[in-house]
Amino acid sequence: MKSKLLGSIVSATLALTASATLAGPLEDRIAAGEPIRLGFAAAAPWAHPGENNEPLGFVNQITLDLLARMGHTEIEPVVTDWAGLIPSLMAGRVDVITGGMYILGSRCANIDFSEPIGQFGNAFIVPDGNPGGLQTYEDIKNAGVTMAAVAGYVNVEEALKVGIPESKIMQLPGTTEVLAAVKAGRAEIGAMTAVEAYDLAAKTDGIGHTDTNALPQWTFNWVAVGFHPEDDQFRADFNAAMPGYIGSDDMLSKVEQWDYLPSNVPGDDASMEWACANR
């Protein structure tokens, strides 16, 4: 009897230890009654703060809906600069990051991503009429002009890959600053995601945009939600909440106000693993 009792105690202890090992920092916070800290930058229409930092934008909407499907509705919004999102996640200041973050190999080396929630391309903002005739990174390199971009955006990597000198890339905190640089003539062109470029051009006199389809296929990317590597189980549960929601009429009806279109829904063959290895 003593042997059986001791064995039961050891088994129970091992089970508790294994459970504690599987639980990541976010699950520990939730178990302690703490809210999920949602980190995002002011990057409309992907994600941006409303009144009292209310999480707006289609990536935030999708993330909040998926968390709700998991049973999590206690959310604390945390707004930071785009370049501070990954450092904030790694330092434990936020639990989940959104904001339209592309799945890139350079980012996969530091954080873990959910499965894709959308596919998007990039574009440029230019003075009305595009006087320089600039449509691609190659055009920018050949013209020798200055390109403004958001620090930490994929556009910086893409420009360097094509051969644009770092001295010709003006890195700024956000798309508002990129727009200001182009309007003031400090940069001839501004690089960003296509949805941001189209949105800014529609709202700003004297500013137009290029066609995302003028860029090569390798510049098109998949967007996902970022998690701390220690929260692998929570990320798996988040992925498990996606089927039946991503691309559904319910989702599309909520996000169309932020220019997420049915054509942006990722295909069945899209995967985080492929994007990490190829982007």
Helix 194-203 vs helix 175-184: crossing angle, to nearest 10: 50
What would the 3-class secondary structure string for 194-258 be? Answer: HHHHHHHHHHCCCEEECCHHHCCHHHCEEEEEEECHHHHHHHHHHHHCCCCCCCCHHHHHHHHHH
Q: Among 213, 207, 211, which Cα is nearest to 188's? A: 207
Query: Each residue of 66-119: pLDDT tens digit?
Result: 999 999 999 999 999 999 999 999 999 999 999 889 999 999 999 999 999 999
CATH placement of domain 7-119+222-278: 3.40.190.10
Q: What are the extents of the domains in the chain?
A: 7-119+222-278, 122-219
Which architecture, in CATH terms, is 122-219? 3-Layer(aba) Sandwich (3.40)
Inter-residue contact 62 to 251 (CB < 8 Å): yes
Average pLDDT for residues 187-208, to the nearest whole number?
Answer: 96
Query: Each residue of 110-144: pLDDT tens digit?
Result: 999 999 999 999 999 999 999 999 999 999 999 99
Mean confidence (pLDDT) of the chain: 91
pLDDT at 47 over 70: yes
Task: Report d(CA 113, CA 195) in Å as an integer.
Answer: 21
Determine the pLDDT at residue 22.
54
Average pLDDT for residues 249-257, to the nearest whole number?
Answer: 97
Average pLDDT for residues 202-213, to the nearest whole number?
Answer: 96
pLDDT at 65 over 90: yes
pLDDT category of residue 169 using cuts at 50, 70 and 90: very high
DSSP-derived letter for residue 187 is: S
Determine the pLDDT at residue 16.
36
pLDDT at 2 over 60: no
Task: Report d(CA 151, CA 240) in Å as an integer.
Answer: 32
Tell me which long-range contacts 213-217 makes (C-beta under 8 A, separation of at least 24).
Answer: 213/121, 214/135, 214/136, 215/121, 215/122, 215/123, 215/135, 215/136, 215/137, 216/136
